[in-house]
Structure 1
Amino acid sequence: MSIVGMDAEVPSGTVVIVIDVVRAFTTAAVAFERGATEILCAPSTEAGRDLRRLHPDHLLVGETRGLKPADFDFGNSPFEMSTAQLDGRRLIQATSNGTRGLVRYPDPAALLAVSALNVGATARWIGTNHPGIPCTLVCTGQTAEDHACASYLSGLLQGSEPRRPDLVAGIMEGVAEHVREYARQPASERVDLSKDLPFCCDVDRSEFVMVGEIRQDHVSLTSVPC
């Protein structure tokens, strides 16, 4: 088992677990909780717009430099998603790290999207469906929260009992790094994470795994109860 950054070479035939806690896959998990049936994950905002032209009934979700583009239906915000009416809807999501990372691995044994919300369900699903298969845990961001989630998931997969408070502390540390970075930006470019933070820290809230199916130019995510 290995924990790597998004630019690392990942061997084919491994279980690839792509992690984005703040905020792409937390937002995706909340969208599935709200009734979304599929999320098409695009490698860029332009690719997301291209998919929207092909699927005009899909809702477009995501961010550029953390902020919602004017022509998107939703930003990359679990708080915003938590009040959306999504029963039976399909989404397209395009983000700077999470969805961009998800499309980079062409030949995995399985491809999964993870945040703290579904980390326990993901460990159980892997143990049931791919026991003994090597796993690669990909941290799409460079701040502390993704590595904390990867370390927690690695512990679960190896049969230990990692401490949930340590995971939450790592997420809080990562959010603090984001906040410090945003504080250096002009006021119009700053991102307020305060309403999203409780969702990002809600460990094991979601009792499903998010499974990716590789398409020609994107990845289709669906939720599988676990």
Structure 2
Amino acid sequence: MDARFLGIPELAEAPSVAVVIDVMRAYTVAAWAFAQGAEKIVLAESLDDALALKARHPDWVALKDGPPAPGFDAVNSPGLLRSVDLGGRTVVQKTTAGTVGALAVKEASLVLCAGFVVAEATARILRSRGCDSVTFVVTGEDGRADEDLACAQYIARRTTETTTDATGFLRRAGASRAATELTEGVRRGAHPDDVALCLELDRFRFAMVATLEDELMVLRPHDVPSPTGTAAA
């Protein structure tokens, strides 16, 4: 498999297959939202767009980066979201980098959104579809965020080498700038458990696929058959 690792500014054209990585915290949060029962996640272009969607659909749950804000129901923190019942709900998500990365590749034939919590399921989709060329979008720090790059490199390696060990990749992510800022309380709208939750390898057995639906970029969980043929949960 030909794997490319690009930051959002380096995306000159839509790739055929894209894996958008945001470990801390957009796609860890998205995975937790699905685990808490969310039906789908709408990836918003801007904060204003998120609020406009919320205004049209008052039952939707709007979340954003940073501290709580009027009009938003939640913040982009897995530690805070894991206790919220989202059964059957639609979530509107707007973050600094993760949602931006997915929207930048919305014309790709396959868009997967991932973090360590869904790494194996993501690699399994790439293996099952025989993807020859995959662009990993490293969303943080214009492509330099080591937690995102480590996760992207791990998934890429895992796609072709199923015995790849995650220890070194997780160590890099844990020593990243984002992890340090979350641990030290630099980033607002966070929970003390956020870093640990973002580094929980394969916590969930589903992958997350984003597609255009009525001009909105919509993320949904995707069950991936396990090697033994048992459906993922």
- Which residue pairs with 1:105 in the alignment? 105
* 1:117–1:201 CA contact under 8 A, matched in 2: yes
Is there any run of 5+ residues in structure 1 with no aligned partner, and where? 184-188
Change (3 A) 1:200 1:2: same
Is there any run of 5+ residues in structure 2 with no aligned partner, and where? 225-233
- Which residue pairs with 1:81 in the alignment? 81
**CA-atom RMSD in angstroms:** 2.0
* C-alpha distance in 2 between matches for 1:24 and 1:125: 20
Change (3 A) 1:69 1:224: same
- Give how far 1:160 is off: 5.2
Q: Helix, strand or coil for the counterpart of 1:7?
A: helix
- Give how far 1:219 is off: 1.0
Which one of 44, 47, 50 corresponds to residue 46 of structure 2? 44
* 1:116–1:201 CA contact under 8 A, matched in 2: yes
- Give how far 1:43 is off: 2.1
Q: How does 1:1-226 map to 2 (within 5 A)?
A: 1-9=3-11, 11-12=13-14, 14-63=16-65, 66-128=66-128, 130-142=129-141, 143-159=145-161, 161-174=163-176, 175-179=178-182, 183=186, 190=188, 192=190, 194-215=192-213, 218-226=216-224
> Could you tell me the percent identity over the aligned residues?
28
- Give how far 1:70 is off: 3.2
* C-alpha distance in 2 between matches for 1:134 and 1:98: 21
* C-alpha distance in 1 between matches for 2:190 and 2:92: 23
- Give how far 1:176 is off: 4.0
Paired residue type of 1:209: A
- Give how far 1:16 is off: 0.6
In the superposition, the TM-score normalised over structure 2's length comes to 0.86
- Give how far 1:68 is off: 3.0
Change (3 A) 1:216 1:104: farther
The list of structure 1 runs, each at least 4 consecutive aligned residues, that deviate by more than 3 angstroms after superposition, is 10-13, 179-183, 189-193, 215-218
Q: Deviations over 1:59-98 (max 9, x none)?
A: 11112xx333232111001011110011111111111111
- Give how far 1:197 is off: 1.3
* C-alpha distance in 2 between matches for 1:164 and 1:199: 15
Q: Deviations over 1:154-201 (max 9, x none)?
A: 101222533221122122112344359965xxxxx7454522112101
* C-alpha distance in 2 between matches for 1:182 and 1:212: 31
In the superposition, the TM-score normalised over structure 1's length comes to 0.88
Q: Helix, strand or coil for the counterpart of 2:140?
A: coil
* C-alpha distance in 2 between matches for 1:201 and 1:127: 23
- Which residue pairs with 2:230 in the alignment? none
* C-alpha distance in 2 between matches for 1:76 and 1:215: 23
Change (3 A) 1:58 1:164: same
* 2:22–2:98 CA contact under 8 A, matched in 1: yes
* C-alpha distance in 2 between matches for 1:99 and 1:119: 18
